Structure 1
Amino acid sequence: MAPSPEAMASTMPFMYDTLKLQQWLQWVFLPRLRAVIEAGGQLPCQSHVHPLAEHEWSQPVEFDKRQLLALLQGIDD
């Protein structure tokens, strides 16, 4: 389910105050990344999403985080 417009209006990094990291990845990061690629733009040199995800998901979560962490590491690299 898409976050509310109020949640998406957050100005904090990673919308940390209104979204879970997995929501931010799905509704903000991936669409922005896709838009940059489709526009032929330059990807950021560093995103540093993997360390945040590793920290956020250090406790058990309701999904298999291993593949996501590997993908995020690849994007960061």
Structure 2
Amino acid sequence: MRDELTLLLHDLERELRLQDRWQPGEPPAAALRSTEPFAVDVLDFDQWLQWILLPRMHELLLRQLPLPDNCAMQPMAEEFFAADDSQGQRIVALLAAIDALLTQHHGGIN
């Protein structure tokens, strides 16, 4: 399960880069400490993916820590990418796969 998640996270990063959604400069430190879901008060959703989700998930995998057992990123992604063409839908599909994988395995260390 962890190997599959690692591949999905790499695919997500690759897709963000291919779509020119990957940003070279890190946002202000305060933005990375937001307590709002998806940091909606300070970041766009694609920024949240890059600066919060991907680093945290990679850290959990690297350190063999328990993974989240209930993810629901797909609805937020659908809302954020609603006006986009099929490119945004590829990101939605990847997040749906990540949601399903984490929810199915209930965050256990597999």
Which band: TM-score by shorter chain?
Answer: 0.7 to 0.9
* Mapping of residues 1-77 of structure 1, within 5 Å: 1-60=25-84, 64-77=87-100
Give % identity: 34
TM-fit CA distance, 1:9: 2.8
Give the aligned residue type for 2:52. Answer: V
**Structure ID, larger Rg:** 2
C-alpha RMSD over aligned residues: 1.7
TM-fit CA distance, 1:65: 1.1
TM-fit CA distance, 1:5: 1.5
* TM-score of the aligned structures, taking structure 2 as reference length: 0.63
| Mapped contact 2:81–2:89 kept (Cα < 8 A) | no
Bigger RCO (CA 8 Å, 6+ sep): 2
Q: Give aligned pairs, total.
A: 76
* TM-score of the aligned structures, taking structure 1 as reference length: 0.86
